[in-house]
Structure 1
Amino acid sequence: MKKAGILNRHLAGALAELGHGDRVLVCDAGMPVPAGPRVVDLAFRAGIPSFADVLEGLLDELVIESATAAHEVREANPEAARLLAECFPDLELVAHDELKALSAGARLVVRTGEARPYANVLLRCGVFF
């Protein structure tokens, strides 16, 4: 049995399949999930697991070369905006509708139980070398 890292077998397996340039959408419970990408739905109850907890766990496992979020997060969810700015100094901000359109090209969607608006980020995988 694994003793550390992401224990959810569906998520751990999906992460192991990612390669350079693949996109991963980490989203709140209300984000429309596009048809096509593999989905690992971690939502249990409103707020559980949180966007911050899931993002932290993913960042421990993945190399990220860029990140994109909706500019609406700054006003509607300052806590998520601060977290994203701390994690991604070069965060690209786009309109929420554009983020939804971009998410259709994701290889993986990780849905959290987050119940605050605009807690969504589209990650682009990098390489460790």
Structure 2
Amino acid sequence: MYHLEEPASAYNLIEYFKIHQMNSRAVQEKGRGKGMINYTLTHPGLLAALAESGHGSQILLADANYPHNTGAPAAARRISLNLRPGLLTIDQILEVLIDAVPLEAAAVMAPPDGNWTEAVKGYESALGARVPITSHQRFDFYDAARSPNVAVVIASGDTRHYANLLLTIGVRPDGAA
């Protein structure tokens, strides 16, 4: 049996959820219980990747035009959520991530005119004042996204230009369970 106190390797996390799923099915058969994971984020690979990340690790939410394989470090975990053009959008993914991990900073790719795109204005609204957003010109953003701190690359189906978002994981508040 795996316990949450064990190191959060991908294997341990997946095994934990398999056991939890089996236990949930047994409870459901008895008429008590609502499902396997009572949480907004249910993607096993993304759960494992986030569990393996820590304070200062970065998550790249890449739009459909971003070079997913060459635009990030080889060691970063790749999560493909680009089902079709327009699905999933970075906004949809961000909504789930905000609930899943503490965030301390964000960076975006600025278009040549330097103005924030509608996508970035949406990120600013979703993240609120608690998460500062900085902007980088295209090639500076590529350099930042290739940093060894990038632990997770999420390929989206977002077709908006300059929709890429680089998030930095913060710390959990004291006493948070």
- SS of the equivalent of 1:55 reads helix
For the pair 1:6 / 2:41, whether they are aligned, the reply is yes
Q: Is the 8 A contact 1:70 1:94 kept in 2?
A: yes
Q: Could you tell me how far apart the structure 1 residues matched to 2:128 and 2:84 are?
A: 27
Q: Could you tell me how far apart the structure 2 residues matched to 1:60 and 1:112 are?
A: 18
Give the alignment's TM-score, normalised by structure 1: 0.90
Superposed displacement of residue 35, structure 1: 4.1
Identical aligned pairs, as a percentage?
27
Aligned length: 128
Q: Could you tell me how far apart the structure 1 residues matched to 2:118 and 2:38 are?
A: 31
| Aligned amino acid, residue 103 of structure 1 | A
Equivalence for 2:52 = 17
Superposed displacement of residue 84, structure 1: 2.0
Equivalence for 2:135 = 93
Structure 1 spans left out of the alignment, 5+ residues: none
Q: Could you tell me how far apart the structure 2 residues matched to 1:84 and 1:97 are?
A: 21
**Which has more strand, going by share of residues?**
1
Give the alignment's TM-score, normalised by structure 2: 0.67
- SS of the equivalent of 2:83 reads coil
**Deviation above 4 Å: which 4+ runs of structure 1?**
none
- SS of the equivalent of 2:118 reads helix
Aligned pair partner of 2:146 in 74, 97, 104: 104
Structure 2 spans left out of the alignment, 5+ residues: 1-35
Aligned-residue RMSD, C-alpha: 1.8
Aligned pair partner of 2:91 in 52, 56, 59: 52
Q: Could you tell me how far apart the structure 2 residues matched to 1:88 and 1:28 are?
A: 21
User: Which of the pair has the greater relative contact order for Cα pairs under 8 Å at 6+ separation?
Assistant: 1
